Amino acid sequence: MTRSGWTGTLVFAVAAVLAALVAAHAGYTADLSAFLPRAPTAEQRLLTEELRAGLASRLIMVAVEGADAAARAQAAAGLARRLRADPAFVEVSDGELDELAPTAEFLLRHRYQLSDAVTAQRFSAAGLHAAIGETLDLLTGPEGLLVKRLFTRDPTGETFHLLDELDAPRIATVDGVWSSRDGRRALLIAQTRAAGSDTDGQERAAAAIRTAFAAAAAALPRARGSLVLRLSGAGVFAVTSRAVIRAQVLQLSALSAILIAALLLIAYRSAAALFLTFVPVASGALAGIAAVSLGFGVVHGITLGFGVTLIGEAVDYAIYLFIQTEWRRSAWPTIRLGMLTSVCGFAALVPSGFPGLAQLGLYSIAGLAAAALVTRFVLPEWRPRLLHTRDLAAFGGALGQALARLQRARLALVAVAVAALLVLLANRNTLFSRELSDLSPVPLADQELNASLRADLGAPDARYLVVVSSADSASTLAGAEAVALRLRTLSAAGIIGGFASPTRYLPSPATQRARQASLPPPAELAVHLQQALIGLPVSARRLEPFLEDVEAARKAPLLTAHDLAGTPLGGAVDALLTVNGGTATAFLPLTSPNGGELSPAAIAGIRAAAEHAPPPVSGPPVFARMLDLKAEADDLYTHYLGQAVALSLAGLGAILVLLIVARSPARALRIVAPLVLAVLVVAAALIAVGQRLGILHVVGMLLIVAVGSNYALFFDRLAQHPPAEASRTLASLAVANLATVIGFGVLAFSSVPVLAALGRTTAPGALLALLFSALLAPRSAFASTAAAPSS
């Protein structure tokens, strides 16, 4: 090895150790959230975070299927009993009555602070007369049996009013446990202690449910083996996504490495060369991980998945080195320019607001630069003197002849271009996907199960909500009450299906005080009651418990979040009211009347309710607005899709400028034209088979240009090579292209949409880029290869 070789190896070793250290200490994440668009404003980011960790994300919907209804109900009840004993779950609900008692007790005890019907008017003689009269009506109705026990304590029916206001979904019951409407599933809901964003915690919770189910099913020997457990929910999705991404990144990387190794072994007939070929690839992957870790603090699992794509391109460098003999003089300058064009293209992604794209950009830049540098300065020095790789000049020569013949038909490319443009033009309004959910790696069947369980359980998807915030929770709650008052009007009119508010269980201190103040002192209440009972079949002496309860309520301390802690209602308030630093935020989730989308008119009504609610008389200002999370997410997605297109075009522009400077405008055009054509044809083909283009398709197109520019650059200079070397260059291009197509082709079979989109775009694109570059190369390009079929 030469002196400079030792220097190169030393620098390489030190850099590799440093990068390995960084990579070893990097944070890795695999849930999809890091790959979702980053909300542009700090406020939205905060909201998304809170929603992600909030109540809806902590609910696991559990279904028991199979066997018969009785066995399902028993298994579900057994499962619920086991889970209730597990501290990993805050609450497990399956419709069992005993579980409701604490909630009902709490409402009864605090009814005069909680009920919005409590006003001074209601406790006047006339008000009491009317209220007690109404309760007597209930007493004679079918609910009478239920109301009766409470009548002497609560003759004005506040508890019934509160329960009525709960507006809980109607869930069918079979054999005492919740059931799906078609009766084929027993259902329960488990609320995990772990936040939805805590994927490890969610995974443990899901595992605990499976274990408990196995035990519950084992206790039913009659139904053993025929009962099936199904889980769904945001946390479950996160766990599934992570497992899918993790498994696929490993499997696909391994598969493409094996396939490419097999290809290279055939091409080189040298194990040593094969080993050396992977040195720049591994160096590139390591450099990429280190760069992303340093640049972003955390490396996403999907970014590692793109390691596969790096194999596709970085492997090319070593292939050129081992197949072309005139490497340093003729190949390296071309590779250098090719690498720089790729870097230009990827650099355009780095400023993207979409974390996944930015990571991909940085990963690729660092990875390609490292791979190219290792190939140039380290690998040649390690190349054993006696390393004999197969001479592919003959293969290249034959290929050259074939391409020269094919070139005669290159006018047909005009027709191809026109056809592609026509397809794109005909579908111009539906070219791009606008739904963020298209990125979800959760299988469609799982998403459908989720939708049907949600419908059966009336579980909210927290899509529509009004967000109220202020500097302290008292003001926030007061603001939420003002909004809730208006929402109630919309709900009564059937414009919205219903809504939840933390103030239902935790009214603002001002409201609680006002309600307490409207309760008359004992002597006065006794007088009012005497007058109120005239004409009613009740005597005051029976209502002593009522007088006692009202007096206790008058003196009761204000209800605080602390009082609710540990009750199911506390869980609800925790989810709907968060206090974070100097901001208290209340969430009021809404549902549509039919469970589907809200009409534009309803949305306008809600916006008005949120934005025109009267401002507080005193205290800090209160902000309220309506959010449609799906629309916001889709808007963000569309925004980033537009950004990805713009950035990719910028990347293409940068590549063009670089080529113009390095070559000439005419040659630059000649190099870029086949690449653009390849992109057009791939886009048209994807559209033709019914795909809509998403962000990763656009990135894939950028990759076509980045990878394809190498081929185009080689064809551009092919005529200047001596015949045998031109043939070898051609052969190396074919092998490199095959390696790239394998690398991306494997991705195309991924069930993770982002990886599949990338593979399905880039694999055919790279092949076409090579083909079109060959066809559009100067006619002289293949002259020398054709003249020397063998050497």
Partner 1 sequence: MTLPSRCGVAGALLLALAMPAGAAVQPATAPATAEARAPAGDPLDELLRELARRRHAHAAFTEVQYLAMLDRPLESSGELLYEAPDRLEKRTLKPRAETLTLAHGVLSATRRGRTRTVELAAYPQLAPLIESLRATLAGDRAALEQVFSTHLEGDLAHWRLRLTPRNPDAARVVKAVLISGAHASLATVEILQTDGDRSLLSIGPELSP
Which span (28-36, 392-400, 534-542, 697-705) binds partner 1, by CB under 8 A? Answer: 534-542
Q: Does 460 bind partner 1 (CB under 8 A)?
A: yes
Which span (165-173, 228-236, 361-369, 524-532) binds partner 1, by CB under 8 A? Answer: 165-173
Indicate which single residue of 14, 120, 126, 146 sits in contact with partner 1 (rule: CB under 8 A).
Answer: 146
Distance separating alpha carbons of residues 352 and 696, to the nearest angstrom: 13
Please report, in angstroms and rounded to a whole number, the separation of the first and last CA atoms in the chain.
Answer: 30
Q: Which residues between 171 and 210 bind partner 1 (CB under 8 A)?
A: 171-173, 176, 189, 191
Q: Does 452 bind partner 1 (CB under 8 A)?
A: no
Helices assigned H by DSSP within 26-54: 42-53
Could you tell me the CA-to-CA distances from 672 to 230, 330, 741 in Å, in that order? 52, 21, 20
Q: Does 105 bind partner 1 (CB under 8 A)?
A: yes
Q: Does 150 bind partner 1 (CB under 8 A)?
A: yes
Residues 6+ away with beta carbon under 8 Å from 327: 320, 321, 380
Q: Does 404 bind partner 1 (CB under 8 A)?
A: no
**In a 10 Å sphere around its CB, with 0-12 CB exposed, 13-18 middle and 19+ buried, how is residue 27 labelled?**
exposed
Q: Does 108 bind partner 1 (CB under 8 A)?
A: yes
Q: What is the CA radius of gyration of the chain?
A: 35
CB 370 within 8 A of CB 284: yes
* Closer of 367 and 571 to partner 1 (Cβ): 571
Q: Does 668 bind partner 1 (CB under 8 A)?
A: no
Q: How far is the CB of 617 from partner 1 (least distance, A)?
A: 29
Q: How far is the CB of 178 from partner 1 (least distance, A)?
A: 8
Check residue 74 and report its DSSP letter: H
Count of chain residues binding partner 1 (CB under 8 A): 67
The token pair at 51 is 């929603």
Q: How many CA atoms lie within 13 A of 602 on its CB side?
A: 26
| Positive/negative CA dihedral, 401, 406, 411, 415 | negative
Nearest to 187 by CA among 195, 177, 198: 177
Indicate which single residue of 500, 506, 701, 757 sits in contact with partner 1 (rule: CB under 8 A).
Answer: 500
Q: Does 545 bind partner 1 (CB under 8 A)?
A: no
DSSP string, 77-110: HHHHHHHHT-TTEEEEESS-GGGGHHHHHHHHHT
* Closer of 103 and 124 to partner 1 (Cβ): 103
Residue type, 326: E
Indicate which single residue of 14, 18, 143, 184 sits in contact with partner 1 (rule: CB under 8 A).
Answer: 143
Q: Does 589 bind partner 1 (CB under 8 A)?
A: yes
Indicate which single residue of 42, 85, 101, 411 sits in contact with partner 1 (rule: CB under 8 A).
Answer: 101
Distance of CA 514 to the CA centre of its chain: 45
* Closer of 23 and 47 to partner 1 (Cβ): 47
- Which helix (DSSP H) or strand (DSSP E) does residue 214 occupy? helix 199-218
Q: Does 131 bind partner 1 (CB under 8 A)?
A: no
Question: What residues does 467 pair with on adjacent strands?
Answer: 587, 625
Q: How far is the CB of 748 from partner 1 (least distance, A)?
A: 40
Detail the DSSP E strand segments found in 260-344: 298-300
Distance separating alpha carbons of residues 214 and 225, to the nearest angstrom: 10
* Closer of 93 and 503 to partner 1 (Cβ): 93
Distance separating alpha carbons of residues 161 and 184, to the nearest angstrom: 34
CB 731 within 8 A of CB 395: yes
Q: Does 126 bind partner 1 (CB under 8 A)?
A: no
Distance of CA 726 to the CA centre of its chain: 48
Q: Which residues between 63 and 92 bind partner 1 (CB under 8 A)?
A: 90-91
Q: Does 666 bind partner 1 (CB under 8 A)?
A: no
Q: How far is the CB of 189 from partner 1 (least distance, A)?
A: 6
Q: Does 107 bind partner 1 (CB under 8 A)?
A: yes
Indicate which single residue of 42, 85, 145, 444 sits in contact with partner 1 (rule: CB under 8 A).
Answer: 145
Distance separating alpha carbons of residues 161 and 260, to the nearest angstrom: 71
Indicate which single residue of 15, 88, 139, 645 sits in contact with partner 1 (rule: CB under 8 A).
Answer: 139
* Closer of 50 and 91 to partner 1 (Cβ): 91
Indicate which single residue of 1, 10, 11, 100 sits in contact with partner 1 (rule: CB under 8 A).
Answer: 100
Detail the DSSP E strand segments found in 204-302: 227-232, 298-300
Q: Does 535 bind partner 1 (CB under 8 A)?
A: no
Q: Does 542 bind partner 1 (CB under 8 A)?
A: yes
Binding mask 39-58 for partner 1 (x = CB under 8 A): ----------------xx--
Q: Does 148 bind partner 1 (CB under 8 A)?
A: yes
Q: Does 494 bind partner 1 (CB under 8 A)?
A: no
Q: How far is the CB of 107 from partner 1 (least distance, A)?
A: 8
* Closer of 495 and 684 to partner 1 (Cβ): 495
Which span (103-111, 340-348, 397-405, 418-426) binds partner 1, by CB under 8 A? Answer: 103-111
Q: How far is the CB of 135 from partner 1 (least distance, A)?
A: 12
The token pair at 403 is 């391409």
DSSP string, 571-618: HHHHHHEEEETTEEEEEEEEE-TTSSPPPHHHHHHHHHHHHSSPPPSS
CA angle 508, 608, 120 (to 5 degrees): 35
* Closer of 408 and 542 to partner 1 (Cβ): 542
Q: How far is the CB of 98 from partner 1 (least distance, A)?
A: 8
What are the contacts of 268-273 at 24+ separation with CB within 8 A?
A: 268/322, 268/323, 268/389, 268/390, 269/389, 269/390, 270/322, 270/387, 270/388, 270/389, 270/390, 272/384, 272/387, 273/322, 273/387, 273/389
Nearest to 602 by CA among 504, 500, 501, 486: 486
Q: How far is the CB of 130 from partner 1 (least distance, A)?
A: 11
The token pair at 98 is 């005993």
* Closer of 465 and 677 to partner 1 (Cβ): 465
* Contact residues for partner 1, defined by CB under 8 A: 55-56, 59, 90-91, 93, 95, 97-101, 103-105, 107-108, 136-137, 139-152, 159-160, 163-164, 166-173, 176, 189, 191, 457-460, 462, 498, 500, 537-539, 542, 568-569, 571-572, 575-576, 587, 589
